Structure 1
């Protein structure tokens, strides 16, 4: 009866078990970003109900089975970044429900089947970085496609995409019009191109004389996705138009953009005027190469040039936890808040304990807790993270996190350790329950911090300090709910003890939050 299987961003390397293809009720299967080898068997045709199939960024090496054409409920197919070879199956024309098709970054050859024009629901197609040739169809999805969908296929031609060369005219009946076409269209284009070439050559010579070479852009690829240039980012954000701005921070801005054949992404552009920005960029690149977890923001690729330092990130349609706490049009109930904080805890536990070299985030706060379309948490912004050597449990830094969330030893002495993240997490847990910022005016006016304010409240009723919107007017507050809140507050206080050695670890946080969730909230 299993309907959804998500195994993406792991280290699976074996071949697929053949029994997987017998699951006739399966709706979604994702094994993206692993190291799975071998071929996709023809038994794929048995997945009669499949709606979304994501096999991208693996080591599949075979022809694409023709039985894909039997999957008439399939809406999303991503086979990109593998080693598929041979031709695009003609049977793809039978995928009548298909909306997204990504075949980029493979070794496919032959022509693009013209029959794909008839797929009326197909909105996006990407066949870039293959060995395809021949004419690009002009109807259906191809009528609205851009150059991005066909890059690095040296044999492709077609008239309806300006940057693609026109196909050779072989029809003798059309030869009589060739001179007229040359005179009216080709000749002006050739003259214009020559003038542009001449102008560009002069500009390049001038720049070379001045010793500048800003035309070359370096792209550092974190994952295995296709490269992206400054000009593509500029185009994706409509020249960084304010209408695409979705967030601003101390080190730069985040824009919504569309890249790679229609994929929505978040583009984090760092402010080059800030002295430490290049160091933060390098730090975040290093961290993201060493960290992969379902609750961490996925970095698709990066761009570094004289003009820009930018990350192309997985887009989070539900924004940040901060928005969900403080915007009037959004609301999280108690169960949702526990789930969000459990997700965040698992991400930080992975950073601290999930691999040989521990990673300390250093800036945990609601603004860096992002939510995808299913309200699953993804922790982001690793600009000031520290990677601790195995022999070290702490390090020293001059770079601070956000006031109110930083631990006492971090703020006064610059000591970075995993227990500093635990402290920040505990402050954030208090904020999620009380809807009070750590530097809230009412609290600061009483010469208190958030922890002291809550500690004083333990002598009265805990329900007096929690967010008034935690429960709806119709919802009855049960003793279980009160016990759940009290247990979470106790957990938060254990995270925020004065000295690092007296605090619990993130492993203990995850264990206790799971227990709270199961005991008080799960039905």
Structure 2
């Protein structure tokens, strides 16, 4: 029977290994610590920049000239006597027409249905809300018209229409980046209404038709006709349900409970 020979274990110098480990530690440790410190500094800088950006959201509103109240004849002239060819949208509270003011600026004119008493109340409520808010992702109300003939809002014109059309229209398609960006735009303005303003405002009717897109596909929230202004100390309130089925929160639809959570 042949004996099996096992090769001898290599002789290593423990002192040399120890020196190598110390050398590695001396090199690696400072690199790891430096990387961690740089990461913290970048994180702090990013958070500060985001916080500063949020605080300026209410200030960085596109400069659009604000006019005094316009008359009904001016509304008629701007829309070619409210001609159907200028119709760009319809809703439960009225119709929206594309028009041109005497200054040449193109606008959207939301003409409310005066036959509906509730719509007239919504006009006053929306005026009150829009006087109190200012954000780059809100549709700018340039002026209003209030007469015995009509109630109307003159709004910043959004050439790319509503998110509803882009989601469900046959000829409109959104890529993933556009969808995420629109979500972020809407989230920013809702955060502002709920937490970034002295008055707590709940939109109550957030849906694709109430999200409009400008020429750069930036989202703007509109239609505050049924919004609720709540006391800062009060996060919920009971009210009549007026939202759109399919989009309103269950607690709002069933019990009329309005809260910021419903918008979210």
TM-score range, shorter chain: 0.7 to 0.9
Task: Give the whole-Å Cα distance in 2 for the aligned partners of 1:328 and 1:282.
Answer: 36
1:9, CA displacement in angstroms? 6.3
Residue pair 2:59, 2:136 contacting (<8 A) in 1 also:
no
Residue pair 1:270, 1:310 contacting (<8 A) in 2 also:
yes
1:298 corresponds to: 140
TM-score by length of 1: 0.39
Aligned: 1:382 with 2:224 = yes
Aligned: 1:355 with 2:197 = yes
1:396, CA displacement in angstroms? 1.4
2:59 corresponds to: 10
1:227, CA displacement in angstroms? 3.2
Residue pair 2:166, 2:173 contacting (<8 A) in 1 also:
yes
Aligned: 1:246 with 2:91 = no
1:408 corresponds to: 250
Runs of 5+ unmatched residues, structure 1: 1-6, 12-29, 34-55, 57-223, 423-523
1:321, CA displacement in angstroms? 0.4
2:63 corresponds to: 32
The 5-angstrom pairing of residues 356-505 of structure 1 reads 356-422=198-264
1:372, CA displacement in angstroms? 0.4
RMSD, matched Cα: 1.8
Counting matched residue pairs gives 209
1:268 corresponds to: 110
Task: Give the whole-Å Cα distance in 1 for the aligned partners of 2:118 and 2:164.
Answer: 26
Distance 1:341 1:31, change over 3 A: closer
The DSSP-based 3-state class of the residue aligned with 1:273 is: coil
Task: Give the whole-Å Cα distance in 2 for the aligned partners of 1:360 and 1:263.
Answer: 31
Match for residue 69 of structure 2 among 227, 231, 236: 227
The DSSP-based 3-state class of the residue aligned with 1:412 is: helix
Cα deviation digits, residues 457-508 of structure 1 (max 9, x gap): xxxxxxxxxxxxxxxxxxxxxxxxxxxxxxxxxxxxxxxxxxxxxxxxxxxx
2:10 corresponds to: none
Cα deviation digits, residues 8-30 of structure 1 (max 9, x gap): 9629xxxxxxxxxxxxxxxxxx9
The DSSP-based 3-state class of the residue aligned with 1:267 is: strand
The DSSP-based 3-state class of the residue aligned with 1:276 is: helix
TM-score by length of 2: 0.76
Task: Give the whole-Å Cα distance in 2 for the aligned partners of 1:273 and 1:418.
Answer: 31
Residue pair 2:241, 2:253 contacting (<8 A) in 1 also:
no
Task: Give the whole-Å Cα distance in 2 for the aligned partners of 1:420 and 1:385.
Answer: 12
Task: Give the whole-Å Cα distance in 2 for the aligned partners of 1:9 and 1:254.
Answer: 26
The DSSP-based 3-state class of the residue aligned with 2:110 is: strand
Residue pair 2:241, 2:252 contacting (<8 A) in 1 also:
no
1:301, CA displacement in angstroms? 0.6
Task: Give the whole-Å Cα distance in 2 for the aligned partners of 1:409 and 1:8.
Answer: 31
Task: Give the whole-Å Cα distance in 2 for the aligned partners of 1:369 and 1:291.
Answer: 17
Task: Give the whole-Å Cα distance in 2 for the aligned partners of 1:395 and 1:293.
Answer: 25
1:302, CA displacement in angstroms? 0.6
The DSSP-based 3-state class of the residue aligned with 1:279 is: helix
Distance 1:257 1:377, change over 3 A: same
Larger Rg: 2
1:307, CA displacement in angstroms? 0.5
Distance 1:319 1:237, change over 3 A: same
The DSSP-based 3-state class of the residue aligned with 2:232 is: coil
